[in-house]
Structure 1
Amino acid sequence: MSEEPTSWARTVARNELAESLPRRWAHTQGVAYQAGRLEGVLGQKARLLVCAALLHDVGYTPRLATTGFHPLDGARFLRDVHGADDRLTRLVANHSFALLEAEERGFREVLEAEFPLLEDQRLVDALVWCDMTTTPDGRPTTAEARVAEILGRYGEESVVGRFIRRASPEIFAAVERVEAELAAQPK
């Protein structure tokens, strides 16, 4: 990766998502936009967040979907094909409380072994906020509306529905922490 990290991440995400999954690409661009809004909160870590935001859903790409669990498939692709930074792959693998979905799918031990959760709670929370305040079409929304949209799209008893219901208290808490930090920023 010789180019600037965010340019590289944008190129990889566009190459993997724009043509095969245009709606997912729109969501990804919206998530990256949200990440850019957190520069004042995260400082130098904002660049890593923008890269993770751009790449968080790359595992949905049909050619990469080997397990059908997009956080794991995407993180493996970034690690194995692109030699991506460990912190980046761990953020992608664990975005938006993916560990709970991994448990629903029988991948928890694999995810924990290959991509341990980052200990930087602010960065983890920030990616949750970016993802969960962006609609599938890339527009800003509330975390409550996003969770409701996911439940409506997948159904409450689906794997994703069960996961999102389990994760929603943690999602809402993470979003609240980030929004408190944003509100505390000087205008």
Structure 2
Amino acid sequence: MEASTADWAMRVGEAELAAVLPRRWAHSQGVRTRAAELARILGKDAKLLVAAAMLHDVGYAPRLAVTGFHPLDGARFLRDEHGADERLVRLVANHSFALLEAEERGLREVLEAEFPLLEDQLLVDALVYCDMTTTPDGERTTAEERVSEIRGRYGDDSVVGRFIRRAAPEIFAAVGRVEEALAAQSRRG
């Protein structure tokens, strides 16, 4: 992934989110900041993570909301309008255990067929970590506080509320794996 991909992702994210969804844009920028901090454990995939972090919520943009499921809408936009890197598109489509929410929405088979989950566990976990340790305003938080905030914002009986309750153990495990990788890297110096 080229260095310019991160710049491209910033331009696309800003064009789609900044004016119409400024809070979502602030969150995306915070997620991107977390991603940049993980470069030392991701090596060659660090730039891919930064781009995915910047674009993970682009599907919330009103003009892109075809299905109303932002991971799917965002991935289709990146694939169809931008011919984006396949791994980037698959990360956006599957960020933060999107398959579980897709199941709640009756879209799991569609998501799996169009955008299979990447097999690189650390990369997938890294995007979960970045998203789930960033508040809606782009500030740092814990995964536990983030899950609680999402449940409070959407309500436990909503599609998102049901999804986040199901996904919480997986989210916490992914965040833990990234924290372990960071600690191991720090010990190695």
- Shorter chain as denominator, the TM-score bin is over 0.9
Partner of 2:128: 128
Q: How does 1:77-116 map to 2 (within 5 A)?
A: 77-116=77-116
Unaligned regions of 5+ residues in structure 1, if any?
none
2:35 and 2:49 in contact (8 A); partners too: yes
Secondary structure of the 1:77 match is helix
Could you tell me how far apart the structure 2 residues matched to 1:145 and 1:3 are?
33
Residue 31 of structure 1: aligned partner: 31
CA distance in 2, matches of 1:52, 1:21: 18
Q: Deviations over 1:29-75 (max 9, x none)?
A: 00000000000000110100000000000000000000000000000
Partner of 1:43: 43
Secondary structure in structure 2 of the residue aligned to 1:66: coil
> Closer, same or farther in 2 for the Cα pair 1:122/1:3, shift >3 Å?
closer
Q: Hey, what's the Cα distance between the residues in 1 that align with 2:154 and 2:28?
A: 19
RMSD: 1.0
Q: How does 1:137-152 map to 2 (within 5 A)?
A: 137-152=137-152
Q: Tell me the CA shift for residue 185 of structure 1.
A: 2.0
1:95-130 Cα shifts (integer Å, max 9, x gaps): 000000000000000000000000000000000000
Amino acid at match of 2:39: E
Q: How many residues align?
A: 186
TM superposition shift of 1:3: 7.8
Partner of 1:171, secondary structure, is: helix
Task: Say which structure is richer in helix.
Answer: 2
Check conservation: 2:3, 2:47, Cα contact below 8 A.
no
Residue matched to 1:61: 61
Q: Which residue of 2 aligns with 1:4?
A: 4
Match of 1:165 in 2: 165
Distance 2:44 2:108 in 1: 30
* Runs of 4+ that moved beyond 4 A: none
What amino acid maps onto 2:134 in structure 1? T
1:137-162 CA-to-partner distances (Å, cap 9, x unmatched) read: 00000000000000000000100000
- Name the counterpart of 1:14: 14
Whichever residue aligns with residue 118 of structure 2, its letter is: L
Structure 2 counterpart of 1:177: 177
Equivalent runs, 1:68-79 vs 2, <5 Å: 68-79=68-79
Sequence identity (%): 74
Aligned partner letter, 1:67: T
